[in-house]
Structures are given as C-alpha cells and as structure tokens.
Structure 1
C-alpha cells in the first residue's frame, strides 16, 4: 500500500496526478490585467504614496505567476474525482497564489493596504469560480485542449450568463445531483473491487 494515499481520496488521485502542466498564457494575460486594475483602484483611494510601486509589483508578479497557477488549475481538470479538481481550482491554487502574493509584497517593502487585500481576495474567489466554470466548458485552455483566443472570447457572453445563473441551477437540482454523485461513486468502487 502506498503511504501517500489517504482513505479519503481513493486511488491516490493526488499522487498519480500528472504534475506536467503548461503555463497558461491566456489566463496570465487576463489575470494580470484585471488584478492590476483592482489594485490600482484600491491604491488610488488609499492615499498611499507607494501606490505605484504596489501596482508595478502586482503586475510583474501576476504576469509571471498567474500562467503557472492557471496551468495548475487546467491540470486539476484531469483529476478523476471532479470535486477534488474543483477544490484545487477554486481553493488550493488561489489560496497558494494569495499567500505568495502577500509574502512578496511584504518582502519588497510594499505591503498592500488592507482595502486592496480584501478587494483582491474577493476578486480572486470570484475569478477562481469563473476559471472553474469556463475551463470545465473548454474555454481559456492552452495546449492540445485549447482553442484560439478569438474563439474563447466569442464564447464569453454565453459563459458569463451561465456563470451568473449557475447558483440558481445548482440549488434547483441539488437533490438530483447528490443522488447521482452517490450512485456514481458506489458504482466506481464496485468496478474497482471486481
């Protein structure tokens, strides 16, 4: 028995995960632009004299790292248990990104104001949920799974609408979804035992 495996996550999904992931340039470009705008707006209202340095640090750091994070999120799509991939996409990768972002600002002596941190945390959560949504629908993927950037942008209006409506759909179909998950996991466990 492999000691890396836990009983909670059968078949060692995390241990077997393909750790070869690509830098996702599409998400890097969009994340760097959007997050820098959020920081710039928050800094503009804070009267912080180091505001320009904060925005420059944010743009440079996010441009370099968000492609790696989005690549990790894209790789998480391949986890056998969908909920585990979604957890990695929405909580794991963004949590790591926020922690490293905070540490970088502290290290360079340009700590982000509280208002900027709160704004970026809220934006990051919504952004991560949106990343999960669009990636699960085959948009903003790179490599063999990807389409052209123009095709991705053409799909955005429909995906924005379905993203906004997703909570309504989830609540309406919750009992059916829970029953399906239970049946699917039970049948997978039976297949693997055979």
Structure 2
C-alpha cells in the first residue's frame, strides 16, 4: 500500500469524504420516502462514451475493448425475465438500502442527481442454466429499477450475444449504435 495513504492529509480527506457521503445517504433516504422524488438515470449509450478502464477491476476478463461487446436497450420487465430469478426478489423498492451496499447506492444517486452518465450494467451468462447475471452494475440497475426506468441499457459480450438474442423478445430490445 502507498505510504501516502496513511498521511494525515489523506486520512483527513477520507474522513471528510466519508462524512459527506454519510450526509448524502441520509438526505437521499429522506427524499426517497417522498413518492414524488425522482431521479432520471443517465447512461453512456455509445461505445465512444464508455471508458472501460473505470471498471477494469470489476469487469469480465473478455471485456477489454469496444469490439468485445454490443450495447442494447432492453425493456426492464424483459430484462427481469431473462435474469436469474433471484433478481426479482432482491431488486425491489423496499430493499434498495437493505439488499445493496448503501455507499454504492448513494454514489449512483449522487452521479445521476448531477446528470453524470454511468456505464450500463454488464450481463454474463449463468452457466448452470440459460439465464443471465449482472456481472457489473448491480447498484446502477437497482437505482434505475427503484425509479421505474422502463428501458435499461446493457452491455452484452460478443460471445453470448447470440444466446441473448435467442432468449430475449426481440420486440423488447434495441441494439444501440
């Protein structure tokens, strides 16, 4: 670990950031109790906007460059249908703060409240059955679902694109770009 990590200055910065994030989390929890509060999800919808280096530690080993994937817009209910069944029970409004990491939920809310675009969720194949899993972007999906987004953009690896097109209702998806 970097020696500077433990410097007093960096420790103070981390403490201030944690306090700011905690304050925002409390504020969002309060706002979200009001049924009229809404945030519009903002997504990168073209490959030219997506910088994979931001998710390099979290993304699939076969996702290295633009030519490794396609972007699709999919109806949220159709996405739930092709995802593993557990997603329906975990991704509910009631569980937004309980089933997910509150700091990550807060980070997504902060980004979208400031109209900052985020990378769409990355889908991978569940090898046990013909269902998909969200490999990266679970908290982005949770927040978009909370605010009743009708369509969700997703990143589909080339190696599973044919199966995605076979399993998804083609009238409920649209290839982007």
User: Which range, TM-score by smaller chain?
Assistant: under 0.3
Report the TM-score, using the length of structure 1 for normalisation. Answer: 0.22
Bigger helix share:
1
Report the TM-score, using the length of structure 2 for normalisation. Answer: 0.24
* Relative contact order, higher structure (CA 8 A, sep 6+): 2
Q: Which structure has the bigger radius of gyration?
A: 1
Bigger strand share:
2
